[in-house]
């Protein structure tokens, strides 16, 4: 049975966040003891190219760590050509929102809501990776945005499904491996909810690898204080 853990990353924020910086990200990945890392990067980015939708945590931290430790990295982001198509889909849906006064007013309200949520966000690594944070993201993204901006959400779903398909394919080929998924934190809740339904997989939650003082554990044996179990 494959063992699976999803870690939410912050992309550019890792470069400036003193709590969840690149070193802490590597420490968190290392604690999960991965045989394979399913990474949110394209096949081209895996081989050192900077393309659309590139994220700094991969060339600066995750890939060097994986290579140094002999860990296989499997891209879950589609090739660059599909990335450009996704960017075009995003552009078109935003044009549609901006051209409709009612939709634009809702979008501006959404922007204020997200800005306020960001201001109130705890600086704790434990809270960022917690089940509670997943639930908050589910409310904001799947419930709120999908209802107010269905076309926008449908475009985002395309990318989520691409990630999920590549992860499940990796699971099928690596039934006895420990697989750690690194993906933008806004995708984490969606993947955890769907991967929980995949058969023959032990899905752990990364919250159980972090105590409430942000110390990273190498084992989840004493994780009851963070999981509530």
160 is a domain residue: yes
Q: How far apart are CA 115 and CA 148, in angstroms?
A: 18
51 is a domain residue: yes
156 is a domain residue: yes
**DSSP 8-state class, residue 5:** E
Are 206 and 9 in contact by the 8 Å Cβ rule? The answer is no
Give the pLDDT confidence score for residue 121 in this predicted structure. 57
pLDDT along the chain (229 residues), means of 10: 96 90 97 98 91 90 98 97 94 96 92 75 83 90 87 94 98 96 96 94 96 83 45
For the record, the structure tokens of 195 come out as 């991967």
206 is a domain residue: yes
Residue ranges making up the domain that contains 131: 2-218
* Residues with Cβ within 8 Å of residue 120, at least 6 apart in sequence: none
223 is a domain residue: no
Count of domains observed in the chain: 1
């Amino acid at each position: 049975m494959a063992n699976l853990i999803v870690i939410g990353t912050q992309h550019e924020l890792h470069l400036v966040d003193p709590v969840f910086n690149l070193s802490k990200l590597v420490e968190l990945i290392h604690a999960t003891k991965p045989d394979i890392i399913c990474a949110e990067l394209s096949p081209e980015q895996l081989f050192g190219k900077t393309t659309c939708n590139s994220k700094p945590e991969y060339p600066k931290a995750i890939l060097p760590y994986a290579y140094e430790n002999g860990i296989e990295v499997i891209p879950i982001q589609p090739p660059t050509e599909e990335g450009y198509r996704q960017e075009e889909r995003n552009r078109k849906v935003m044009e549609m929102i901006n051209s409709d006064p009612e939709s634009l007013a809702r979008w501006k309200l959404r922007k204020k809501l997200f800005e306020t949520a960001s201001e109130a966000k705890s600086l704790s690594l434990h809270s960022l990776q917690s089940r509670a944070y997943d639930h908050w993201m589910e409310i904001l993204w799947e419930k709120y945005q999908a209802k107010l901006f269905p076309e926008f959400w449908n475009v985002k779903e395309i990318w989520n499904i691409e990630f999920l398909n590549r992860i499940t394919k990796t699971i099928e080929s690596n039934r006895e491996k420990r697989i750690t998924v690194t993906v933008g934190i806004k995708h984490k809740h969606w993947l955890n909810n769907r991967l929980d339904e995949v058969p023959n997989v032990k899905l752990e939650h990364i919250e159980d690898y972090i105590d409430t003082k942000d110390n990273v554990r190498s084992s989840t044996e004493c994780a009851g204080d963070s999981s509530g179990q």
